[in-house]
Amino acid sequence: MTNTLNKLGKFNGIDGPLLLIIADGVGVAPHGPANAVALANTPTLDKLAVSDWYTELKAHGTAVGLPSDDDMGNSEVGHNALGAGRIFAQGAKLVNAAIADGSVFESAVWQAACEKTLAGGTLHLLGLHSDGNVHSHNDHMYALLKQAAQRGIKRARLHLLLDGRDVPPRSALDYIDTTETVLEKINQQFHADYRIASGGGRMRITMDRYQADWDMVKRGYDCHVHGVGRAFDTARQAVETLYQETDKGDQYLEPFVIHDTSKPDAIGKIVDGDCVVLYNFRGDRAIQISQAFESVEFDKFDRGQHPNTFFAGMLQYDGDLKVPGHYLVDPPRIDRTMGEFLCATGLRSFAISETQKYGHVTFFWNGNRSGYVDEKLETYVEIPSDNIEFDQAPAMKAREITDKTIELLETGKFQWGRLNFANGDMVGHTGNVEAAITAMEVVDECVEKLIKVVHELNGAVIYTADHGNADIMFTDKDGVRSPKTSHTLNPVPLAISFAQAPAELALTPPDNAGLVNVAATVINLLGYQAPDDYQPSLLSVK
């Protein structure tokens, strides 16, 4: 099957370049004190929202391949959907199915992990500790623990990354109490020794992405492997103590280790012969720690006495780099992406973002594929992110992205391009309303500049988002305001701004339109028919 596209016939495409802007984490919600998107002074975005070329798209749940409509969207599945043009079962859904039908426990990797542990080692489970269902779900961890116990594994240790980002900011104790109850039942039923061994906030240890901060990974590695961190008798004691010392949420708590009360040593160091399973299913924040465990040639930091372990991930987080080499559940196989079709047709494009979202407009956009689809036709640009808390600099790198995008557009070499402004999501995750308002105002400023340039080039801009976040910054229950740092279930905007709207086109979104409908829309605007199996375009040709 050829991947080249056929011309539309009745519409030859816009005359100038097409620019797709993804405002990460910017959903549509009712106006109110928690809605930083609506509170911000955004005249450009406001104008787009009342134009004839405006609609709203589903960006969560089954519309993007997640198990149910109670599941919030995220940047990874959102960009998968934008680039694929079709709905694919995503991480949580794949893992749920594999656990439900037992295939994960029949896999060769799980069997090998159990056999190696039974030979005399300890089973270590590492992952994000919550039911946020964005990177992980505790039910998956519990299923692994119970199956390990049934296989006869007597010793297991948990290394828990506190969330406070995809779930309420200070919810760690509830999750820890539930996990301790599960461990107690397993220990009693199977006469086993399963315990929590280490932990820390997800934005302090282990879960860096896009190689933005290897020191974060080192802190996690040293904590989990070598027992480096503040010592406590229990995980509950650790979190309660840290809560007393800071007003920050779970995601920023410092690393801790659990020591045996009978001797001053960490109870969960990882040593030769042990087995480590990373139970996160989402890839971006799992790749680097996987490399730290399994890479032979590793030079990102000094691992000290690096143990010889059997390491496995819940999924393979990067199919091209083969990270990790062992994994329990096959990731979604996303083929025939928009990028493949447009490259096969000979169109030149660019993709640009700062480090925090660079992989989203490249790796995830291309169906979980590293590198270029066609290096001769594509240009990828990464603007390095700053390693600071994002509410301290809510502009992030939006202005630098804008300047570079204008430079690329004005070369005249590209038929289309895509960019991601990370501000709404990354600042939204901090729970700081004022910072999120500033972030949105910077995005508005940048969108205005980009629209002006694209119009001068006789092109068009599509403005949309991948999921909500900054649209609900806190919840208010009985007069008590609690920061909401997780994504929302709200729809996202989609607006098209033309230098001159084509008379041949009309905006006619299908019922229940979602992010997957954007791919066919882009292809139509470039003057081509979308593939037959793509979800329909938001446009119709008169």
Instruction: Say if residues 240 and 201 touch (Cβ distance below 8 Å).
Output: no
Instruction: Say if residues 29 and 37 touch (Cβ distance below 8 Å).
Output: yes
- DSSP-derived 3-state class of residue 420: strand
Cα→Cα distances 520→337, 524, 533, Å: 11, 6, 10
- DSSP-derived 3-state class of residue 214: helix
Mark whether 262 is an active-site residue.
no
How far is residue 255's CA from residue 190's CA, in Å, rounded to a whole number?
Answer: 30
How far is residue 461's CA from residue 451's CA, in Å, rounded to a whole number?
Answer: 6
**How many other CB atoms are found less than 10 A from the CB of residue 205?**
29
Instruction: Say if residues 72 and 166 touch (Cβ distance below 8 Å).
Output: yes
Tokens standing for residue 144: 């692994």
How far is residue 488's CA from residue 521's CA, in Å, rounded to a whole number?
Answer: 25
Output DSSP code: residue 259.
B
How far is residue 74's CA from residue 364's CA, in Å, rounded to a whole number?
Answer: 11
Instruction: Say if residues 199 and 256 touch (Cβ distance below 8 Å).
Output: yes
Query: Tokens 């998956």 identify what position?
Result: 140
Query: What angle, rounded to 10 degrees, do the helices at 214-226 and 287-294 form?
Result: 50
How far is residue 257's CA from residue 227's CA, in Å, rounded to a whole number?
Answer: 6
**How many other CB atoms are found less than 10 A from the CB of residue 454?**
25
Instruction: Report which residue type is found at 445.
Output: E
| Active-site residue identified among 51, 68, 75, 349 | 75
Q: Could you give the residue numbers annotated as active site?
A: 75
